[in-house]
Structure 1
Amino acid sequence: MITLARESRGLSQAELATKIEMSPANLSKIERGDIGVSQDIVELIATATHYPLSFFTQDDEMFPEHLIYRKREKVAQKILTPINAKVNIVRFHVQSVLEELKIKHPHVPSFEVDEKNTPMLAAQKLRKIWKVEPIINDLIQLLESKGIVITYFKFNTDRVDSRSVLTKEKYPIIIYNSSLLGDRQRFSIAYQLGHLAMHTSTDVSWDRDISHEANLFAAEFLMPEKEIRQDFDSGITVPLLGELKKKWKVSMISLLFRADDLGYLSPNQKRYLLQQFNEQKIRKREPVELDIPVEKPRLLRTWLSELKSKQKLSVASLASKLHLQTDEFIELYN
């Protein structure tokens, strides 16, 4: 847990060692379990990392670094490490709440993917199983109604959007960057749903591009081909993409790529439209007046409130139960 605490604060071994006035070599040995650690040292580390002493008594195993991030192609490990650590901490919390409230495991359908059974077909099948309307007005509400836990925290970078993990009992969790705009938030969550449906309960060969598969799944789940084709039949323009953004609640650039994937754009047309995006300076930040409202998850917060009420806990006591300081608990779970 010392490593988890350190990494969640974005500290290197040398930086934490300096804070607690210890040599980096000895701290490294402590983290590896090569030498014991005294209560005094644990107290110093707790103070330096702003965790209560109980944090260091947990015996949960960390979920290993996994490929199911939605992120830019190249992201420095220094950026990913604290995100991965905080994801594990949230995972421990969800695990604890599930056990306390005896919540049953949800059934998320699983789909094998190959040349015949494509990610798009998986999305179509899931939409049919869940009886999803063509336009999904509240994606988070839909997934939470199926028992999928969705939560968020500040990733302190715009290069990583989201992450999905499973508890040790395989309960699905999607965690996203709180800085995301509404359209990107929705696509990122649909992307992670694709990973949960296609890549967590099936054997995945090393040579498959699971990130591309998740993108294809998300596009079909949010913009089903059967319904969206009629919106593209009259031709693709930047103003049309703006109108369709309001309808489908996805970004204009996602709609452009969807039209391209469905064969509505020639290479020259795609190049011209992207040039217009660049000239209008809307490639990275689309017009504010077209912003999609950010959706809010409620399921985990409802469970925390239920646990607080059932066990007659104060906010401070609930934070302590999850091995957090009260201020961080409030920030993390609003």
Structure 2
Amino acid sequence: MHNGKRLAAARKRRKITAKSLAELCELSPVTITRLEADQNAADPATIERIAEALGYPFDYFTLPDPPALSAQQVSFRSLTNMSAKEREAAFAAGGAGVEMFRWAEELYELPALDLPDLRADAEYSPESAAVALRAHWQLGDRPIPAVLKLFEAKGIRILGLSEDTKNVDAFSFWMDDVPYMFLNSFKSAERNLFDACHELGHLAMHRHGTMGGGREAENEANAFASAFLMPQSDIMAHVPRFIDIKVILRLKRRWKVSAMALAYRLRQLGMLTEWQHRTLCIQLGKLGYRSDEPEGIDRETSVVWSQILADLWSKRETKESIAKAIKLPLDEVDGLIRGLLAQEQPADNRLAAMEAKPALRLVK
């Protein structure tokens, strides 16, 4: 017996319409629609044709319902530019990511959650929420040396996205009291880290039913990310009174942010006038800093997934083991950790790499 929700999830993940899938399988669009609604029972041969057309394992379509996400549950970094097809594909990726982590949790003891509730509608503004979270995590006001490593250590489940578009650059959600964060490596490393802190703001401030809260919530998450990465006290201590483009390009590396983000933070804190800020942005744009980050920082990687894969490699297993375990195509598993790993090491160095780091504990 097939699962219609699985069929719909796989189709949406591949970003094709029911009509297009029907043409690929030489079926009628009505048949696909009825199969997705579980109004018709499909024979194995039909599911084989659909599985082949979508590039999914046959067994995927026989599993129980996938984790379901809704627009109210998910925070998207750039919802206004996103098409419905892109949004549905991201929802499907989110569900697959939850299943991938559930697989990991059965084998490994992952870090416990340590993320306080800092709702923006309570006593916290975005700025004070960022200060409070830094205090809770005992970070002081210094720059954070490894942002993704910190988030993972605090129990946030981080995965990547294979979407080759800036329209889906990051999103996050809570499911079963577990926070998930998905990051697209399409942008620069600096902007990727800002996206991660933006999503952290949503997870901390908008947990209770307001993840999809529109422009106000997005502005709050942006303000949180700016304050979390660039604490006011540290800015005041290291930014000189006279600020020019050389100062921006030198100090942006201290906080691992884009040049534009640092300039905006300085304007926000009253250290630049509106005219000075506009002038600096024009200069930065001419140098290519509006859409990219020339001579940027190295991209941060996932400690959790690096260690999981190192453990698999030590047993002569690969990402295919994950794909087979959760009945996903290998390209989907690869997409969920793309951009979160350093370039793969030669096989004879993988075990040594694993032993060089504290390994995740296996679940007994």
Q: Does 1:18 align with 2:23?
A: yes
Query: Which aligned pairs between 1:221-260 and structure 2 lie closer than 5 A?
Result: 221-260=228-267
| C-alpha separation in 2, matches of 1:259 and 1:208 | 22
Q: Which residue of 1 aligns with 2:35?
A: 30
Q: Which residue of 2 aligns with 1:62?
A: 68
Q: Which moved more, 1:147-156 or 1:227-236?
A: 227-236
Q: Which residue of 2 aligns with 1:294?
A: 299
**Equivalent residue letter for 2:44:** Q
Distance 1:233 1:305, change over 3 A: closer
Alignment deviations for residues 36-92 of structure 1 (CA, whole Å, 9 cap, x no partner): 222111111111111111211222332223441112632222332222212221122
**Equivalent residue letter for 2:53:** A
Query: Which aligned pairs between 1:245-284 and structure 2 lie closer than 5 A?
Result: 245-284=252-291
The Cα shift of 1:308 comes to: 8.3
The Cα shift of 1:115 comes to: 7.8
Q: Does 1:320 align with 2:324?
A: yes
Tell me the SS of whatever aligns to 2:173.
strand
Q: What's the TM-score, normalizing by structure 2?
A: 0.82
Q: Which residue of 2 aligns with 1:141?
A: 149
2:130, 2:225 within 8 Å by CA — same for their partners in 1? yes
Tell me the SS of whatever aligns to 1:73.
helix
**Equivalent residue letter for 2:70:** P
Alignment gaps of 5+ in structure 2: 1-5, 342-364
Distance 1:228 1:101, change over 3 A: same
| C-alpha separation in 2, matches of 1:174 and 1:68 | 9
**Equivalent residue letter for 1:158:** K
Q: Which residue of 2 aligns with 1:2?
A: 7
Distance 1:307 1:103, change over 3 A: farther
Q: Does 1:165 align with 2:173?
A: yes
**Equivalent residue letter for 1:163:** F
Alignment gaps of 5+ in structure 1: none
Distance 1:4 1:80, change over 3 A: same
| C-alpha separation in 2, matches of 1:327 and 1:277 | 37
Distance 1:207 1:275, change over 3 A: closer
Q: Which moved more, 1:293-302 or 1:64-73?
A: 64-73
> Equivalent pairs: percent with the same residue?
28
**Equivalent residue letter for 2:50:** I
The Cα shift of 1:170 comes to: 2.1
Tell me the SS of whatever aligns to 2:77.
strand
1:52, 1:324 within 8 Å by CA — same for their partners in 2? yes
The Cα shift of 1:35 comes to: 1.9
Report the aligned-residue RMSD: 2.6
Distance 1:274 1:103, change over 3 A: closer
**Equivalent residue letter for 1:198:** M
1:149, 1:173 within 8 Å by CA — same for their partners in 2? yes
2:161, 2:182 within 8 Å by CA — same for their partners in 1? yes
Report the number of matched residues.
Answer: 330
Q: Does 1:285 align with 2:304?
A: no
The Cα shift of 1:209 comes to: 1.2
Tell me the SS of whatever aligns to 1:176.
strand
| C-alpha separation in 1, matches of 2:211 and 2:185 | 30
| C-alpha separation in 1, matches of 2:130 and 2:181 | 17
**Equivalent residue letter for 2:120:** V
Distance 1:229 1:142, change over 3 A: same
Alignment deviations for residues 223-258 of structure 1 (CA, whole Å, 9 cap, x no partner): 001111233441322111100111111000000110
Q: Residue 198 of structure 2: which of 185, 191, 198 is its match?
A: 191
Distance 1:315 1:185, change over 3 A: closer
The Cα shift of 1:112 comes to: 2.2
